Amino acid sequence: QVQLEESGGGLVEAGGSLRLSCAASGSIGSIDLMGWYRQAPGKQRELVAVIISSGSTNYADSVKGRFTIARDNGKNMVYLQMDSLKPEDTAVYFCNVRATRFLRVNEYWGQGTQVTVSS
């Protein structure tokens, strides 16, 4: 049973920082990528940041220069450091993991954690 457990969300003022954490547990196999998505009310879920097995990263244009994604392979954890937060960053943030086990690609999602940025 694979589970993703998220933490670190909360309320912060504009210009502040938050660090989201996601821990993957269970027989997840070989992780191909770990990432973060977000979904604001009335909007579709969008990719925020992703880190692949090689360590390469990609970010949404709206967060470049402000957010940093990092991983700890030994602990099967992924982090999202969010600096210079803006009200537009307010959303539910979801951890996402894609992994291969027994030649099959599986995708897992966390339950989501609320990030609210006030003015």
pLDDT at position 33: 95
pLDDT at position 51: 97
**Segments of the chain with pLDDT less than 70:** none
| Residues 14-32 pLDDT 10s | 999 999 999 999 999 999 9
Mean pLDDT rounded to a whole number for the chain: 96
pLDDT at position 1: 85
Nearest alpha carbon to residue 113 among 37, 35, 24:
37
pLDDT at position 74: 86
Instruction: Tell me how far the alpha carbon of residue 81 is from its chain's centroid.
Output: 9
